[in-house]
Structure 1
Amino acid sequence: MFADSGNTSLPAWLYNDTEYFAVEMERVIRPSWQIVCHVSDIPLPGDYHVLDYIGESVIVIRGDDGTIRAFANVCRHRASRLVDGPTGCARKLVCPYHAWTYDNDGRLTGVPMKSDYRALDLDNHGLAPVDIDTWRGFIFVRLAGDGPRVAEMMGHYDAEVAPYRFEDMRAIGRVTLRPRTVNWKNIADNYSDGLHIPVAHPGLTRLFGRDGYRIEASEHVDKMWGVVVDRLSSNPSERAYQALLPRVDHLPEANQRLWLYYKLWPNFAFEIYPDQIDFMQFLPISPTTSLIREISYRLPDDDRREMRAAQYLNWRINRQVNKEDTQIIERVQQGMASPSYTVGPLGESEVCLASFARKLRHLIPEANLPEAPVAGWSHAA
């Protein structure tokens, strides 16, 4: 029914079409893992983090028994949202509408005027559970589906991550939210694109050398990496980072100056540096708007002055990289609105973009079409 478009980029209409966006949320985002926080972010009973995305609100909370669970942030009575804001602590979750009360393990334990509800079975009206997974200390949720767990997705890359002691990490500051006027896929495409590095990122080029950035694609993960060179940069922040970055004894020699990135299908990434790690998540808001959600983590037992300085310089360097990327993706989103553009060719080295497009086309065959089908296609028999 649909011609194979494996040697071309995804068509432009996929980046601004409302009907396709709805299908993509159902078939791609709902069944995929979404990163929420680290277990150290909710250390005590009742501590919770909330993730809001694609019209859903999910609360991840530690119970009195120490178990971390995930639930829809929705009262089972009249659908009121239970908690507001991204974080908090509640030994009991009390609905602000009618005061239905839930324990932090999700059980319904309190119903005002309970005699009004003669057939009510409290055991069947606890909070709706959401699928949850934990990998190396990080917590993920999934709204639907039964695909591979995060550890399986990471596969052989898990051994590469192991020396970084993810489980021991602690947050630096709070989650940052950055709205962008682009489709989420433009962020994802750009994240795994290696060809733009020497063109659009002079700072990274100075740090890695002109040919020092590498990419590879696997079934569930794109890997990108570069090694910080010894030749000192002309930029003050980059030069200071090169000079101050201290040795990290628990890392292999090859990782001492390695910047390493793993983008997991479909929309979040781990950015791994000798001095810290970040996660970056690109949440869809509409066909042409997204929200970048990110936070940094560090090892609390390494409080050396030079390590603190390296973390600050890392932030300065990557703030500039983010600014450059924002300009790029906004230009691409604007260009995709032109009828003159449908699809573009993919070179042999663009393995990550080809892998991403192949997975989307498998889940949504209409993504092979160079132009949008007639409205209503998603409801056709």
Structure 2
Amino acid sequence: MSSAPHLVEAAELSLPGWVYRDPEFFAVEMERVIRPAWQIVCHDSDIAEPGSWTTIDYLGESVIVIRGDDGAARAFANVCRHRASRLVSGTSGCARRLTCPYHAWTYGLDGRLIGVPHKQDYPGLDPAALGLVPIELDRWRGFLFVRLANGGPSVADMMAPYDHEVEPHRFEDLRALGRVTLRPREVNWKNVSDNYSDGLHIPVAHPGLTRLFGRGYRIDAAAHVDRMSGDLLDRPSSNLSERAYQAMLPVAEHLPEALRRRWLYFKLWPNVAFDIYPDQVDFMQFLPVSPTETLIREISYALPDGRREMRAARYLNWRINRRVNQEDTALILRVQQGMASRSWTPGPLGESEVCLRSFARKLRRLIPEANLHQPPGPGWSRG
């Protein structure tokens, strides 16, 4: 790690604008922040049968998560060991074995190399040394995560401070509602992450959430997770969809009383989030593409529930949050545009902005140059 000269004490300041647009900083944070971070891939139920697989692509890597004949889920680089062809295309499928479409090298569901055409052409070839490259995988409450670089706590350890609040939602029993969607945004990934954990903009920019929660939106920051929440008011909203949701949301008997009208939000450092409602659970992640491009990957899950009012509540939830997403998109675009100005220097973070303080502190710890108000000279990351 390079040492940055003339670092500015920045504990109470937001991150500088240049780290939201600088290509060299982006490359460094991909190595130090994103590669070692857990990325959510799917739920156990999405690959329930042997041979079922799904993929996630980020940082130039493609990772396949596949269910073995023994019932175990494993993760591998989606790369043939012969000539580097991608083994599978698309986001999901099912196969009894993985056969490369280039030269037909074949792998078992456990990653072993089990078939090599013209094997005699490769004297001394050791199949045991040429299995698929494993990627670290973690399972937490039915969800499967991968990370490209090892090290750091498990997902369970990260979520430990709030696990008691998640447990009643029965994550292990969730099933997908629809498919994964990808939403490109012309902003830096940190801009999306900052906005997700920002509490002060709720009463300013989200009138719908304010009608639902009043002034009761709460935020908290633990070592590895931000927590946000709001309890639905008994007072009917003036908005039709919100008022209908308040009225139609049925009692979720599996939840304790305190959680039956609570919307919960958790962001795992640095870029994975869970929106937990009484009626459904959404995950999303903010996948960096370039210094000014991010791909938001998301999908909804729910417990099986055939009640008509539950179906209506889920539809209304979608309508409400579609509007919230539109509002957030406009906000983060405005901020990204402002970050391009050389006139801007880091602004103060209020004492209540605990999540943004926590995020900035962790990033500065990993990349000390983030303390600088202006970028160092070119090549600083190689110093």
Q: Is the 8 A contact 1:237 1:316 kept in 2?
A: yes
Is residue 2:256 matched to residue 1:252? yes
Query: 129-138 vs 112-121, which deviates more?
Result: 112-121
Note if contact 2:211-2:237 (Cα within 8 Å) is conserved in structure 1.
yes
SS of the aligned residue for 2:18 comes to helix
Q: Cα deviation per residue 1:76-96 (whole Å; 9 max; x = unaligned)? A: 111111111111111111111
* Aligned with 2:101 (options 96, 99, 117): 96
What SS does the aligned partner of 1:147 have? coil
Q: Is the 8 A contact 2:186 2:333 kept in 1?
A: yes
**CA contact 1:244–1:306 (8 Å) conserved in 2:** yes
Report the TM-score, using the length of structure 2 for normalisation: 0.98
Distance 1:59 1:344 in 2: 42
1:263 match: 267
Query: Which residue does the alignment assign to 2:177?
Result: 172
> What is the 5 A alignment of 1:231-310?
231-300=235-304, 302-310=305-313
Q: How does 1:322-333 map to 2 (within 5 A)?
A: 322-333=325-336
SS at match of 1:156: helix
1:223 and 2:227 matched: yes
Find out whether 1:375 has 2:369 as its counterpart.
Answer: no
**TM-score under structure 1 length normalisation:** 0.98
Match of 2:163 in 1: 158
Runs of 4+ more than 6 Å apart: none
Residue 275 of structure 2 aligns to which amino acid in structure 1? Answer: E
**RMSD (Å) for aligned C-alpha atoms:** 0.7
* In structure 1, distance between residues paired with 2:62 and 2:314: 32
8 Å Cα contact 2:136/2:150 also seen in 1:
no
Pairwise CA distance, 1:120: 1.0
Q: Which amino acid aligns with 1:213?
A: Y
In 2, Cα distance between equivalents of 1:144 and 1:100: 27
Q: Which of 355, 361, 364 is the aligned partner of 2:364?
A: 361
Deviation at 1:239, TM superposition (A): 0.4
Question: How far did 1:156 drift?
Answer: 2.3
Contact 1:237 1:313 in 2 (8 A): yes
Structural mapping, 1:129-140, within 5 Å? 129-140=134-145
C-alpha distance in structure 2 between counterparts of 1:120 and 1:372, whole Å: 50
Code of the aligned partner of 2:131: G
Aligned to 1:149: 154
Figure out how many residues of one structure are paired with residues of the other and give that number.
378
The SS at the match of 1:249 is coil
Gap runs ≥5 in structure 2: none
Following superposition, the deviation at residue 24 of structure 1 comes to 0.4
Identity of aligned residues (%): 72
How many Å separate the matches in 2 of 1:186 and 1:78? 38
1:186 aligns with 191
1:13-47 CA deviation, whole Å, 9 max, x = no partner? Answer: 00000011000000000000000000000011110
Letter in 2 for 1:148: P
One-letter amino acid of the counterpart of residue 169, structure 1: L
Structure-1 separation of matches of 2:275 and 2:76: 28
